Amino acid sequence: MTTHAHAPAPVLAERYLLSPDMIADPYGHLDALREQAPVHWSPLHHAWLVTGYEQVMSCLRDPAVSADRVRPLMDAVPQGAREDAERAFGILSRWMVFNDPPQHRRLRRVFQEAFAARAVARYRTFTEKASRAVLARKAVPGSTGDLMAGVAKPLPALVFARWLGIPPTDAPSFWYWNTRVADLVLGTAQEESEYRASLQALVSLEDYLGALVARRRAEPGDDLISQVLREGRVGDSVSEEEFVGMLTQMAFAGGETTSNLIANTVLALLTRPDQLAAVRAEPELAQGAVEETLRLDGPSKMSIRTAARDVDLDSRTLRAGDRIFLVTAAANRDPARFPDPGRFDVRRSGATHLGFGFGAHFCIGAALARLVAVAVVRTLVCDHPGLTLADPGGLAWQPSLLNRGLTALPVHY
């Protein structure tokens, strides 16, 4: 085990990032930590907490800071569920998000064209029609409902299923598996039975997508799988097994992140009447609202890395094997980078936030997530003038180290 006699004493009292108060609102503590020690060894988390913008950027650029974290995920699985884990973690090892260059670059290149902004733009009309159709059913003026369950979750699911080419009859199983996989990857699975369900769901998801790839080889369609197969890289630069493994990552990442982004943006606007009024007066500012949410209260709080070798960062030495929490939720509020960083401003411009990461691991699905979130937020706030929070004091957040998502968002439509 690595020792840290070289690390200074904590500058703040240790706060467990999964404690209820930190889940509810981590930002005050993270701001104070960034101000006092932007690179801080946390004995409680057995990890370095990197909270400064420049320090996080340095890590994202440094090849010695590795994205491979399949082993820590496997170590978290209870002993009784380990026998189910071998194939599931083999699948995770093929996710490009858990691979470093040059492997990451080789895997990512397969999807580069399909995720380009011009390719994603083809789904704008479908997304806008789907938004209006779902809202016509779920957001009836005068009614009350859970915006998370009724709108923020099903709309990205509709778009991503269409994009991947999932037949509507398969959607319930497909999204059940995705939810369970999210429990595993985002650390919300706690009990042995939950881990078993999540591991089995990942295996079932890969089996399903493998069969779908075979079907699309025989009967191509207008979807992501068919497009990538037509480009000829599967079986050439990547194996079919790698391709199917990466599809499980695409399936998982698309729905969860975008759902939370939609809900967090709506919450941000409903708690800031001046910003809500600005978007209603100029609907194109919905894009700015989504970007400010990604910066100020986005769906991702941090990403986890490992030091592949010793790294010097901000007068600290991160030893080979150390875990590193790149706390983008703190970096995105760094006053050295963002003027008046605690203010939500739909007209903000200038510095680039890290809500979708940076560099080699910049979120490949960012263009599609933005397309869906902007369409849904714009339609919601502009076509529903009566939209208000139904229970402002009763909101609860998912107990996750990595993601920032509401359990529900009760609203009056």
Shortest CA distance to 238 belongs to which of 381, 339, 110, 98?
110
With contact defined as beta carbons under 8 Å apart, do 270 and 276 qualify? yes
For 218, residues 6+ apart whose C-beta sits below 8 A from its C-beta are none
Domain 20-412, CATH: 1.10.630.10
* Predicted local confidence at residue 7, as pLDDT: 52
Task: Work out whether strand 47-50 and strand 323-326 pair parallel, antiparallel, or are unpaired.
Answer: parallel
Phi, psi of 262, deg, nearest 5: -60, -50
Q: Name the 3-class secondary structure at 277.
A: helix
pLDDT tens string, the chain, 413 residues long: the values are 444 544 554 567 899 999 999 999 999 999 999 999 999 999 999 999 999 999 999 999 999 999 987 776 777 777 776 766 888 888 999 999 899 989 999 999 998 888 888 888 989 999 999 999 999 999 999 999 999 999 999 999 899 999 999 999 999 999 899 888 888 887 777 788 888 899 999 999 999 999 999 999 999 999 999 999 999 989 999 999 999 999 999 888 777 899 999 999 999 999 999 999 999 999 999 999 999 999 999 999 999 999 999 999 999 999 999 999 999 999 999 999 999 999 999 999 988 999 999 988 899 889 999 999 999 999 999 999 999 999 988 999 999 999 999 999 999 99
Distance, in Å, from the CA atom of 52 to the CA atom of 349, rounded to the nearest integer, reads: 20
Would you say 42 and 14 are in contact if contact means Cβ atoms under 8 Å apart?
yes
Burial of residue 30, with CB atoms counted within 10 A of its CB: 0-12 exposed, 13-18 middle, 19 or more buried:
buried
Task: Show contacts of 170-177: CB within 8 Å, 24+ apart.
Answer: 170/208, 173/204, 173/208, 174/205, 174/208, 174/251, 175/255, 176/201, 177/201, 177/202, 177/204, 177/205, 177/208, 177/251
Return the domain boundaries, the chain. 20-412
48, 318 Cβ separation under 8 angstroms:
yes
Q: Which residue type does 375 have?
A: A
| Backbone φ and ψ of 326, nearest 5° | -85, 100
In this prediction, residue 259 carries a pLDDT of: 95
